[in-house]
Structure 1
Amino acid sequence: MTDSNSSPSQQVHLEPGYSPSISGFDDWMALQGEVFRSVKDRQTHKVMLDGESIFIKKHYGVGWGEILKNLLSLKWPVLGARNEWQAIHKLDEIGIATTPLLAYGERGTHPAHKQSFVVTRDLGDIVTLETLCEPWLQQPPSPYFKRQLIAKVAELARCFHANGMWHRDFYLCHFALPRSALKTQDLQLHLMDLHRVEIHAHLPEDKRLKDLAGLYFSAMHIGLTQRDVLRFLKHYYQQPLRQVLMQHQFLHSVAHRASQLDAKFQRKRQAGVAM
Protein backbone atom coordinates (compact mmCIF):
# COMPACT_ATOMS: atom_id res chain seq x y z
CA MET A 1 0.00 0.00 0.00
CA THR A 2 1.36 3.44 -0.95
CA ASP A 3 0.35 6.56 0.96
CA SER A 4 -2.02 8.79 -0.97
CA ASN A 5 0.13 11.87 -0.29
CA SER A 6 3.14 10.34 -2.07
CA SER A 7 4.84 12.06 -4.98
CA PRO A 8 7.29 10.58 -7.51
CA SER A 9 10.24 11.77 -5.39
CA GLN A 10 8.59 11.00 -2.03
CA GLN A 11 6.88 7.71 -1.22
CA VAL A 12 5.57 5.99 1.90
CA HIS A 13 4.58 2.31 1.70
CA LEU A 14 2.46 0.74 4.44
CA GLU A 15 2.16 -3.01 4.86
CA PRO A 16 -1.36 -4.46 4.34
CA GLY A 17 -3.47 -4.09 7.47
CA TYR A 18 -1.24 -1.46 9.04
CA SER A 19 -3.02 1.88 9.62
CA PRO A 20 -0.89 4.19 11.77
CA SER A 21 -1.98 7.61 13.00
CA ILE A 22 0.69 9.35 10.90
CA SER A 23 1.17 9.25 7.17
CA GLY A 24 3.58 11.80 5.73
CA PHE A 25 7.29 11.18 5.17
CA ASP A 26 8.23 14.08 7.45
CA ASP A 27 5.98 12.69 10.21
CA TRP A 28 7.87 9.41 10.16
CA MET A 29 11.29 11.03 10.07
CA ALA A 30 10.33 13.27 13.01
CA LEU A 31 9.64 10.29 15.31
CA GLN A 32 11.98 10.23 18.31
CA GLY A 33 12.57 7.60 20.94
CA GLU A 34 15.25 5.53 22.59
CA VAL A 35 18.29 5.58 20.31
CA PHE A 36 19.58 2.05 19.71
CA ARG A 37 22.18 2.93 17.10
CA SER A 38 23.54 6.16 15.71
CA VAL A 39 26.17 6.55 13.01
CA LYS A 40 26.96 9.35 10.61
CA ASP A 41 24.25 8.65 8.05
CA ARG A 42 21.57 6.72 9.98
CA GLN A 43 19.85 6.27 13.32
CA THR A 44 17.67 3.55 14.81
CA HIS A 45 15.01 4.56 17.35
CA LYS A 46 12.66 2.50 19.50
CA VAL A 47 9.36 4.39 19.55
CA MET A 48 5.88 3.97 21.00
CA LEU A 49 3.32 4.74 18.28
CA ASP A 50 -0.40 4.16 18.73
CA GLY A 51 0.32 2.12 21.84
CA GLU A 52 2.69 -0.23 19.99
CA SER A 53 6.46 -0.53 20.32
CA ILE A 54 8.17 -0.16 16.94
CA PHE A 55 11.65 0.39 15.56
CA ILE A 56 12.37 2.99 12.90
CA LYS A 57 15.70 3.09 11.09
CA LYS A 58 16.25 6.47 9.44
CA HIS A 59 18.75 7.02 6.64
CA TYR A 60 19.88 10.57 5.91
CA GLY A 61 21.97 10.06 2.77
CA VAL A 62 25.43 8.54 2.60
CA GLY A 63 27.17 11.39 0.76
CA TRP A 64 29.51 11.20 -2.22
CA GLY A 65 32.52 10.35 -0.05
CA GLU A 66 31.00 7.05 1.08
CA ILE A 67 29.82 6.21 -2.44
CA LEU A 68 33.28 6.79 -3.92
CA LYS A 69 34.99 4.86 -1.11
CA ASN A 70 32.78 1.83 -1.81
CA LEU A 71 33.19 2.03 -5.58
CA LEU A 72 36.98 2.29 -5.27
CA SER A 73 36.85 -0.87 -3.12
CA LEU A 74 34.76 -2.57 -5.84
CA LYS A 75 31.72 -2.63 -3.53
CA TRP A 76 28.24 -1.44 -4.35
CA PRO A 77 27.23 1.18 -1.75
CA VAL A 78 24.11 0.80 0.38
CA LEU A 79 22.19 4.01 -0.29
CA GLY A 80 19.32 3.71 2.18
CA ALA A 81 16.57 1.58 3.71
CA ARG A 82 15.41 -0.02 0.45
CA ASN A 83 17.82 -2.94 0.89
CA GLU A 84 16.31 -3.85 4.23
CA TRP A 85 12.75 -3.40 3.00
CA GLN A 86 13.34 -5.73 0.06
CA ALA A 87 15.23 -8.25 2.21
CA ILE A 88 12.41 -8.50 4.76
CA HIS A 89 9.91 -9.14 1.98
CA LYS A 90 12.19 -11.84 0.56
CA LEU A 91 12.61 -13.53 3.96
CA ASP A 92 8.83 -13.51 4.44
CA GLU A 93 8.48 -15.12 1.01
CA ILE A 94 10.95 -17.96 1.76
CA GLY A 95 9.81 -18.59 5.33
CA ILE A 96 12.68 -17.17 7.40
CA ALA A 97 11.51 -15.24 10.45
CA THR A 98 12.73 -11.67 10.90
CA THR A 99 11.49 -8.36 12.30
CA PRO A 100 7.92 -7.88 10.99
CA LEU A 101 7.75 -5.07 8.46
CA LEU A 102 5.30 -2.19 8.96
CA ALA A 103 6.32 0.69 6.70
CA TYR A 104 8.96 2.02 4.35
CA GLY A 105 9.54 5.44 2.86
CA GLU A 106 12.01 7.31 0.68
CA ARG A 107 12.48 10.85 -0.56
CA GLY A 108 14.69 12.27 -3.25
CA THR A 109 16.38 10.93 -6.35
CA HIS A 110 19.99 12.06 -5.79
CA PRO A 111 21.89 8.88 -4.78
CA ALA A 112 24.18 10.65 -2.31
CA HIS A 113 21.44 12.56 -0.52
CA LYS A 114 18.37 10.31 -0.72
CA GLN A 115 16.55 10.00 2.63
CA SER A 116 14.62 6.88 3.65
CA PHE A 117 13.28 4.89 6.56
CA VAL A 118 12.08 1.40 7.41
CA VAL A 119 9.71 0.59 10.28
CA THR A 120 9.45 -2.81 11.97
CA ARG A 121 7.50 -4.24 14.87
CA ASP A 122 9.33 -4.77 18.16
CA LEU A 123 9.87 -8.51 18.71
CA GLY A 124 9.83 -8.04 22.48
CA ASP A 125 12.05 -10.02 24.81
CA ILE A 126 14.64 -11.65 22.56
CA VAL A 127 18.18 -12.91 23.01
CA THR A 128 20.85 -13.03 20.32
CA LEU A 129 22.85 -16.21 19.83
CA GLU A 130 26.01 -14.25 20.64
CA THR A 131 24.64 -13.53 24.13
CA LEU A 132 23.07 -16.97 24.54
CA CYS A 133 26.24 -18.85 23.60
CA GLU A 134 28.79 -16.61 25.32
CA PRO A 135 28.90 -18.63 28.59
CA TRP A 136 29.06 -22.03 26.86
CA LEU A 137 32.81 -22.44 27.46
CA GLN A 138 32.28 -22.33 31.24
CA GLN A 139 28.67 -23.55 31.31
CA PRO A 140 28.03 -25.91 28.38
CA PRO A 141 24.40 -26.36 27.31
CA SER A 142 22.75 -29.75 27.23
CA PRO A 143 23.94 -31.84 24.24
CA TYR A 144 20.35 -32.04 22.98
CA PHE A 145 19.86 -28.26 23.03
CA LYS A 146 23.19 -27.62 21.32
CA ARG A 147 22.47 -30.15 18.57
CA GLN A 148 19.02 -28.68 18.03
CA LEU A 149 20.32 -25.12 17.82
CA ILE A 150 23.16 -26.03 15.45
CA ALA A 151 20.65 -27.73 13.14
CA LYS A 152 18.38 -24.66 13.19
CA VAL A 153 21.22 -22.27 12.35
CA ALA A 154 22.40 -24.54 9.52
CA GLU A 155 18.91 -24.90 8.06
CA LEU A 156 18.35 -21.13 8.14
CA ALA A 157 21.72 -20.50 6.49
CA ARG A 158 21.00 -23.13 3.82
CA CYS A 159 17.60 -21.63 2.96
CA PHE A 160 19.00 -18.10 2.98
CA HIS A 161 21.84 -18.91 0.59
CA ALA A 162 19.78 -21.24 -1.60
CA ASN A 163 17.55 -18.27 -2.35
CA GLY A 164 20.45 -16.12 -3.53
CA MET A 165 20.79 -13.99 -0.41
CA TRP A 166 24.08 -12.62 0.93
CA HIS A 167 23.93 -11.09 4.42
CA ARG A 168 27.43 -9.57 4.57
CA ASP A 169 27.25 -9.46 8.41
CA PHE A 170 26.39 -13.11 9.04
CA TYR A 171 27.37 -13.30 12.71
CA LEU A 172 25.75 -14.92 15.77
CA CYS A 173 24.76 -11.47 17.04
CA HIS A 174 22.30 -11.21 14.14
CA PHE A 175 20.47 -14.45 14.95
CA ALA A 176 17.88 -14.10 17.71
CA LEU A 177 15.38 -16.15 19.67
CA PRO A 178 12.41 -15.07 21.79
CA ARG A 179 13.42 -15.83 25.38
CA SER A 180 10.15 -17.74 25.77
CA ALA A 181 11.47 -20.22 23.18
CA LEU A 182 14.18 -21.31 25.61
CA LYS A 183 11.46 -22.78 27.82
CA THR A 184 9.28 -24.27 25.11
CA GLN A 185 12.22 -25.48 22.96
CA ASP A 186 10.41 -24.03 19.92
CA LEU A 187 13.59 -22.63 18.43
CA GLN A 188 12.34 -20.41 15.63
CA LEU A 189 15.35 -18.27 14.79
CA HIS A 190 14.96 -14.69 13.61
CA LEU A 191 17.55 -13.19 11.26
CA MET A 192 18.26 -9.55 12.02
CA ASP A 193 20.12 -6.49 10.69
CA LEU A 194 19.41 -6.79 6.99
CA HIS A 195 20.85 -3.37 6.15
CA ARG A 196 23.50 -4.68 3.73
CA VAL A 197 21.78 -7.77 2.31
CA GLU A 198 22.15 -8.44 -1.40
CA ILE A 199 19.77 -10.66 -3.37
CA HIS A 200 21.09 -12.56 -6.39
CA ALA A 201 19.46 -14.93 -8.85
CA HIS A 202 22.15 -17.41 -7.81
CA LEU A 203 24.54 -16.72 -4.93
CA PRO A 204 28.18 -16.56 -6.09
CA GLU A 205 30.48 -18.93 -4.19
CA ASP A 206 32.75 -16.14 -2.95
CA LYS A 207 29.80 -14.49 -1.23
CA ARG A 208 28.64 -17.78 0.29
CA LEU A 209 32.21 -18.26 1.53
CA LYS A 210 32.24 -14.83 3.19
CA ASP A 211 28.93 -15.43 4.98
CA LEU A 212 29.96 -18.87 6.26
CA ALA A 213 33.35 -17.55 7.35
CA GLY A 214 31.69 -14.74 9.26
CA LEU A 215 29.39 -17.19 11.01
CA TYR A 216 32.26 -19.55 11.84
CA PHE A 217 34.40 -16.66 13.13
CA SER A 218 31.61 -15.51 15.45
CA ALA A 219 31.31 -19.05 16.89
CA MET A 220 35.02 -19.82 17.28
CA HIS A 221 35.19 -19.16 21.03
CA ILE A 222 31.99 -20.73 22.38
CA GLY A 223 33.35 -24.24 22.85
CA LEU A 224 32.20 -25.92 19.65
CA THR A 225 33.84 -29.27 18.88
CA GLN A 226 34.85 -30.64 15.51
CA ARG A 227 31.79 -32.88 15.71
CA ASP A 228 29.61 -29.78 16.16
CA VAL A 229 31.12 -28.19 13.05
CA LEU A 230 30.57 -31.37 11.04
CA ARG A 231 26.98 -31.52 12.28
CA PHE A 232 26.44 -27.97 11.02
CA LEU A 233 27.89 -28.85 7.60
CA LYS A 234 25.76 -31.98 7.29
CA HIS A 235 22.58 -29.97 7.95
CA TYR A 236 23.72 -27.06 5.77
CA TYR A 237 24.50 -29.20 2.72
CA GLN A 238 21.83 -31.87 3.35
CA GLN A 239 24.34 -34.48 2.23
CA PRO A 240 26.27 -37.36 3.83
CA LEU A 241 29.49 -36.15 5.44
CA ARG A 242 31.59 -38.07 2.91
CA GLN A 243 30.14 -35.93 0.12
CA VAL A 244 30.38 -32.73 2.17
CA LEU A 245 34.07 -33.28 2.89
CA MET A 246 34.79 -33.66 -0.82
CA GLN A 247 34.47 -29.85 -0.90
CA HIS A 248 37.61 -29.65 1.22
CA GLN A 249 39.13 -26.71 -0.71
CA PHE A 250 36.06 -24.52 -0.19
CA LEU A 251 35.79 -25.54 3.48
CA HIS A 252 39.48 -24.85 4.00
CA SER A 253 38.99 -21.37 2.51
CA VAL A 254 36.06 -20.74 4.88
CA ALA A 255 38.17 -21.76 7.90
CA HIS A 256 41.13 -19.68 6.70
CA ARG A 257 39.04 -16.54 6.27
CA ALA A 258 37.39 -17.09 9.67
CA SER A 259 40.86 -17.32 11.26
CA GLN A 260 41.86 -14.08 9.53
CA LEU A 261 38.73 -12.34 10.88
CA ASP A 262 39.47 -13.64 14.36
CA ALA A 263 43.10 -12.49 14.23
CA LYS A 264 41.95 -9.03 13.12
CA PHE A 265 39.38 -8.92 15.91
CA GLN A 266 41.95 -9.95 18.54
CA ARG A 267 44.41 -7.29 17.34
CA LYS A 268 41.75 -4.59 17.58
CA ARG A 269 40.62 -5.78 20.99
CA GLN A 270 44.18 -5.72 22.29
CA ALA A 271 44.59 -2.22 20.91
CA GLY A 272 41.40 -1.15 22.67
CA VAL A 273 39.50 -0.45 19.45
CA ALA A 274 35.89 -1.65 19.19
CA MET A 275 35.25 -3.80 16.13
Structure 2
Amino acid sequence: MQACARAAGERLPLVRAPARQRLAQSFVKVSRLPSLHETNRVVSCSARVSENISHKIEASTDHILPASQDHVVKAIDAINGGQVIAVPTDTIYGFACDACSAEAVNRIYEIKGRIHTRPLAICVADVPEISRFAVVDHLPHGLLHNLLPGPVTVVLKRGENSILERSLNPGLDSIGVRVPKLDFIRSIARGAGSALALTSANLSGRPSSVSVKDFGDLWPHCSYVFDGGILPSGRAGSTIVDLITPGVYKILRDGSSREETMAVLGKFGFVEAS
Protein backbone atom coordinates (compact mmCIF):
# COMPACT_ATOMS: atom_id res chain seq x y z
CA MET A 1 0.00 0.00 0.00
CA GLN A 2 1.29 3.46 -0.82
CA ALA A 3 0.52 6.19 1.68
CA CYS A 4 -0.77 9.55 0.53
CA ALA A 5 2.13 11.71 -0.54
CA ARG A 6 1.45 14.53 1.89
CA ALA A 7 0.60 14.53 5.59
CA ALA A 8 -1.90 17.00 6.98
CA GLY A 9 -0.57 20.53 7.27
CA GLU A 10 1.74 20.47 4.24
CA ARG A 11 0.95 22.35 1.08
CA LEU A 12 0.76 20.34 -2.11
CA PRO A 13 2.42 21.92 -5.15
CA LEU A 14 0.20 22.57 -8.13
CA VAL A 15 1.32 20.57 -11.15
CA ARG A 16 1.49 22.60 -14.35
CA ALA A 17 -0.13 21.22 -17.47
CA PRO A 18 2.96 19.78 -19.27
CA ALA A 19 4.15 18.06 -16.10
CA ARG A 20 0.65 16.80 -15.43
CA GLN A 21 0.50 15.24 -18.89
CA ARG A 22 3.87 13.55 -18.44
CA LEU A 23 2.80 12.21 -15.05
CA ALA A 24 -0.45 10.83 -16.42
CA GLN A 25 1.39 9.22 -19.34
CA SER A 26 3.79 7.52 -16.94
CA PHE A 27 0.87 5.77 -15.24
CA VAL A 28 -1.58 5.16 -18.06
CA LYS A 29 -1.54 3.39 -21.36
CA VAL A 30 -4.70 3.60 -23.44
CA SER A 31 -5.19 0.82 -25.94
CA ARG A 32 -7.94 -0.04 -28.39
CA LEU A 33 -9.55 -3.40 -27.86
CA PRO A 34 -10.97 -5.56 -30.65
CA SER A 35 -14.61 -5.15 -31.56
CA LEU A 36 -16.94 -6.73 -29.05
CA HIS A 37 -18.30 -8.75 -31.98
CA GLU A 38 -14.81 -10.17 -32.58
CA THR A 39 -13.99 -11.36 -29.07
CA ASN A 40 -15.72 -12.65 -25.95
CA ARG A 41 -12.84 -11.59 -23.73
CA VAL A 42 -13.98 -9.88 -20.53
CA VAL A 43 -11.81 -6.92 -19.56
CA SER A 44 -12.01 -5.19 -16.19
CA CYS A 45 -11.72 -1.41 -15.96
CA SER A 46 -13.18 -1.04 -19.45
CA ALA A 47 -15.70 1.58 -20.48
CA ARG A 48 -18.05 1.39 -23.47
CA VAL A 49 -17.44 4.40 -25.70
CA SER A 50 -19.39 3.18 -28.72
CA GLU A 51 -21.57 0.25 -29.63
CA ASN A 52 -18.67 -1.90 -30.81
CA ILE A 53 -15.47 -0.50 -29.24
CA SER A 54 -14.05 -0.44 -25.72
CA HIS A 55 -11.03 1.32 -24.29
CA LYS A 56 -9.05 -0.01 -21.34
CA ILE A 57 -6.81 1.85 -18.93
CA GLU A 58 -3.79 -0.32 -18.21
CA ALA A 59 -2.13 0.86 -15.01
CA SER A 60 1.60 0.34 -14.66
CA THR A 61 1.57 0.76 -10.88
CA ASP A 62 0.10 -1.59 -8.32
CA HIS A 63 -2.06 1.03 -6.63
CA ILE A 64 -4.33 1.56 -9.66
CA LEU A 65 -6.91 -1.22 -9.37
CA PRO A 66 -10.29 -2.17 -10.83
CA ALA A 67 -13.28 -1.04 -8.77
CA SER A 68 -14.40 -4.61 -8.17
CA GLN A 69 -15.44 -6.62 -5.13
CA ASP A 70 -12.06 -8.38 -5.30
CA HIS A 71 -10.40 -5.18 -4.08
CA VAL A 72 -12.87 -4.03 -1.44
CA VAL A 73 -10.68 -5.35 1.40
CA LYS A 74 -7.70 -3.30 0.17
CA ALA A 75 -9.90 -0.21 0.14
CA ILE A 76 -11.22 -0.91 3.65
CA ASP A 77 -7.69 -1.41 4.99
CA ALA A 78 -6.62 1.91 3.47
CA ILE A 79 -9.60 3.74 4.98
CA ASN A 80 -9.02 2.21 8.41
CA GLY A 81 -5.35 3.12 8.11
CA GLY A 82 -6.20 6.81 7.76
CA GLN A 83 -5.46 6.98 4.03
CA VAL A 84 -7.24 8.68 1.13
CA ILE A 85 -8.50 6.63 -1.81
CA ALA A 86 -10.09 7.57 -5.14
CA VAL A 87 -13.32 5.77 -6.01
CA PRO A 88 -16.14 5.87 -8.56
CA THR A 89 -19.63 6.76 -7.39
CA ASP A 90 -22.98 6.75 -9.19
CA THR A 91 -22.21 10.26 -10.46
CA ILE A 92 -18.50 11.23 -10.57
CA TYR A 93 -15.18 10.06 -9.13
CA GLY A 94 -14.48 11.04 -5.56
CA PHE A 95 -11.80 11.13 -2.90
CA ALA A 96 -12.81 9.22 0.22
CA CYS A 97 -11.41 8.73 3.72
CA ASP A 98 -12.58 7.95 7.25
CA ALA A 99 -14.89 10.81 8.24
CA CYS A 100 -13.95 10.22 11.89
CA SER A 101 -10.21 10.77 11.27
CA ALA A 102 -9.15 14.41 11.49
CA GLU A 103 -5.78 13.62 9.89
CA ALA A 104 -7.35 11.85 6.91
CA VAL A 105 -9.88 14.64 6.38
CA ASN A 106 -7.05 17.18 6.37
CA ARG A 107 -5.27 15.12 3.70
CA ILE A 108 -8.27 15.45 1.40
CA TYR A 109 -8.26 19.23 1.79
CA GLU A 110 -4.54 19.33 1.02
CA ILE A 111 -4.83 17.09 -2.04
CA LYS A 112 -7.63 19.21 -3.50
CA GLY A 113 -6.13 22.56 -2.50
CA ARG A 114 -9.51 23.27 -0.92
CA ILE A 115 -10.12 25.80 1.84
CA HIS A 116 -11.31 24.26 5.10
CA THR A 117 -14.42 26.43 5.26
CA ARG A 118 -15.91 24.49 2.33
CA PRO A 119 -17.70 21.47 3.83
CA LEU A 120 -17.33 17.81 2.88
CA ALA A 121 -20.20 15.36 2.56
CA ILE A 122 -20.22 11.88 4.04
CA CYS A 123 -21.13 8.55 2.48
CA VAL A 124 -22.75 5.67 4.36
CA ALA A 125 -23.52 2.14 3.25
CA ASP A 126 -27.25 1.97 3.94
CA VAL A 127 -30.11 4.35 4.67
CA PRO A 128 -30.60 3.24 8.33
CA GLU A 129 -26.99 4.25 9.00
CA ILE A 130 -27.83 7.92 8.43
CA SER A 131 -29.32 8.23 11.93
CA ARG A 132 -25.88 7.56 13.45
CA PHE A 133 -24.60 10.79 11.96
CA ALA A 134 -27.57 13.12 11.46
CA VAL A 135 -31.06 13.93 12.76
CA VAL A 136 -33.81 12.14 10.81
CA ASP A 137 -36.69 12.00 13.32
CA HIS A 138 -38.56 14.85 11.62
CA LEU A 139 -38.69 13.11 8.23
CA PRO A 140 -41.72 11.09 7.09
CA HIS A 141 -41.31 7.33 7.21
CA GLY A 142 -40.05 6.03 3.88
CA LEU A 143 -38.83 9.35 2.47
CA LEU A 144 -35.12 8.59 2.66
CA HIS A 145 -35.67 5.10 1.25
CA ASN A 146 -37.40 6.69 -1.76
CA LEU A 147 -34.52 9.11 -2.35
CA LEU A 148 -31.64 6.75 -1.60
CA PRO A 149 -29.60 4.92 -2.72
CA GLY A 150 -29.21 7.32 -5.60
CA PRO A 151 -27.49 10.46 -6.94
CA VAL A 152 -28.77 12.69 -4.12
CA THR A 153 -27.03 14.38 -1.18
CA VAL A 154 -29.44 15.09 1.68
CA VAL A 155 -28.43 17.90 4.03
CA LEU A 156 -29.54 17.29 7.61
CA LYS A 157 -28.78 18.63 11.06
CA ARG A 158 -25.77 16.88 12.54
CA GLY A 159 -27.19 16.59 16.04
CA GLU A 160 -25.53 16.32 19.44
CA ASN A 161 -25.30 12.52 19.32
CA SER A 162 -23.52 12.35 15.97
CA ILE A 163 -20.36 10.23 16.11
CA LEU A 164 -18.65 12.32 13.44
CA GLU A 165 -15.26 13.84 14.12
CA ARG A 166 -15.89 17.43 15.26
CA SER A 167 -13.07 18.69 13.05
CA LEU A 168 -15.17 17.69 10.03
CA ASN A 169 -16.86 20.88 8.81
CA PRO A 170 -16.19 22.86 12.01
CA GLY A 171 -18.69 25.57 12.80
CA LEU A 172 -21.51 23.88 10.88
CA ASP A 173 -24.38 22.06 12.57
CA SER A 174 -25.45 20.39 9.30
CA ILE A 175 -24.00 17.57 7.22
CA GLY A 176 -24.56 16.36 3.66
CA VAL A 177 -25.13 12.60 3.46
CA ARG A 178 -24.89 10.27 0.45
CA VAL A 179 -25.84 6.65 -0.14
CA PRO A 180 -24.65 6.15 -3.73
CA LYS A 181 -26.30 3.59 -5.95
CA LEU A 182 -23.04 1.71 -6.45
CA ASP A 183 -22.13 -1.48 -4.60
CA PHE A 184 -18.37 -0.89 -4.57
CA ILE A 185 -18.28 2.28 -2.48
CA ARG A 186 -21.12 1.07 -0.27
CA SER A 187 -19.21 -2.14 0.45
CA ILE A 188 -16.21 -0.06 1.51
CA ALA A 189 -18.30 2.05 3.88
CA ARG A 190 -19.99 -1.05 5.29
CA GLY A 191 -16.70 -2.85 5.85
CA ALA A 192 -15.00 0.18 7.39
CA GLY A 193 -17.81 0.46 9.94
CA SER A 194 -17.86 4.23 9.69
CA ALA A 195 -18.92 7.05 7.41
CA LEU A 196 -16.63 8.04 4.57
CA ALA A 197 -15.81 11.69 4.01
CA LEU A 198 -16.47 12.13 0.29
CA THR A 199 -15.70 14.89 -2.19
CA SER A 200 -15.04 15.15 -5.91
CA ALA A 201 -11.70 13.83 -7.21
CA ASN A 202 -10.21 16.98 -8.68
CA LEU A 203 -8.33 20.10 -7.74
CA SER A 204 -10.67 22.64 -6.19
CA GLY A 205 -12.33 24.72 -8.89
CA ARG A 206 -11.53 22.25 -11.70
CA PRO A 207 -14.13 20.19 -13.62
CA SER A 208 -15.40 17.01 -12.01
CA SER A 209 -13.91 13.68 -13.07
CA VAL A 210 -15.79 10.98 -14.97
CA SER A 211 -12.64 8.94 -15.69
CA VAL A 212 -9.52 8.23 -13.63
CA LYS A 213 -7.52 9.90 -16.40
CA ASP A 214 -9.23 13.19 -15.54
CA PHE A 215 -7.30 13.43 -12.26
CA GLY A 216 -4.13 11.56 -13.21
CA ASP A 217 -1.92 14.26 -11.69
CA LEU A 218 -3.40 13.50 -8.26
CA TRP A 219 -2.93 9.71 -8.30
CA PRO A 220 0.36 9.77 -6.36
CA HIS A 221 -1.38 11.40 -3.40
CA CYS A 222 -3.79 8.48 -2.91
CA SER A 223 -3.19 5.11 -1.33
CA TYR A 224 -5.27 3.50 -4.10
CA VAL A 225 -7.09 4.67 -7.21
CA PHE A 226 -10.01 2.38 -8.08
CA ASP A 227 -10.95 2.46 -11.74
CA GLY A 228 -14.61 2.02 -12.60
CA GLY A 229 -14.28 3.07 -16.24
CA ILE A 230 -15.91 6.12 -17.77
CA LEU A 231 -18.94 7.07 -15.69
CA PRO A 232 -22.08 7.66 -17.76
CA SER A 233 -23.83 10.35 -15.71
CA GLY A 234 -21.80 13.33 -16.92
CA ARG A 235 -20.10 15.86 -14.65
CA ALA A 236 -23.15 17.25 -12.85
CA GLY A 237 -22.59 15.43 -9.55
CA SER A 238 -25.36 14.62 -7.11
CA THR A 239 -28.40 16.77 -6.48
CA ILE A 240 -28.01 18.48 -3.09
CA VAL A 241 -31.22 19.08 -1.14
CA ASP A 242 -31.64 20.66 2.30
CA LEU A 243 -34.15 18.69 4.42
CA ILE A 244 -33.45 20.29 7.79
CA THR A 245 -36.83 22.05 8.09
CA PRO A 246 -39.85 19.71 8.48
CA GLY A 247 -42.04 19.65 5.36
CA VAL A 248 -39.82 22.06 3.43
CA TYR A 249 -36.97 21.43 1.01
CA LYS A 250 -34.42 23.63 -0.71
CA ILE A 251 -32.39 22.55 -3.73
CA LEU A 252 -28.81 23.70 -3.08
CA ARG A 253 -27.38 22.22 -6.29
CA ASP A 254 -29.32 20.97 -9.30
CA GLY A 255 -27.00 18.04 -9.97
CA SER A 256 -28.06 15.04 -12.02
CA SER A 257 -31.39 14.23 -10.34
CA ARG A 258 -33.22 17.49 -9.61
CA GLU A 259 -36.58 16.61 -11.21
CA GLU A 260 -36.69 13.09 -9.76
CA THR A 261 -35.82 14.42 -6.29
CA MET A 262 -38.52 17.09 -6.42
CA ALA A 263 -41.08 14.52 -7.57
CA VAL A 264 -40.34 12.25 -4.59
CA LEU A 265 -40.48 15.13 -2.13
CA GLY A 266 -43.79 16.28 -3.60
CA LYS A 267 -45.31 12.83 -3.02
CA PHE A 268 -44.42 13.16 0.66
CA GLY A 269 -46.08 16.57 0.94
CA PHE A 270 -42.92 18.66 0.97
CA VAL A 271 -42.97 22.17 -0.49
CA GLU A 272 -40.05 24.09 -1.91
CA ALA A 273 -38.68 26.91 0.24
CA SER A 274 -39.57 30.33 -1.11
Asked if Structure 1 and Structure 2 have the same fold, meaning a TM-score greater than 0.5 normalized by the shorter chain, the answer is no
Pick the structure with more helix per residue. 1
For the pair shown, which has the larger CA radius of gyration, 1 or 2?
1
Report the TM-score when normalising by structure 2: 0.28
Report the TM-score when normalising by structure 1: 0.28
Greater RCO between the two (CA within 8 Å, min separation 6)?
2
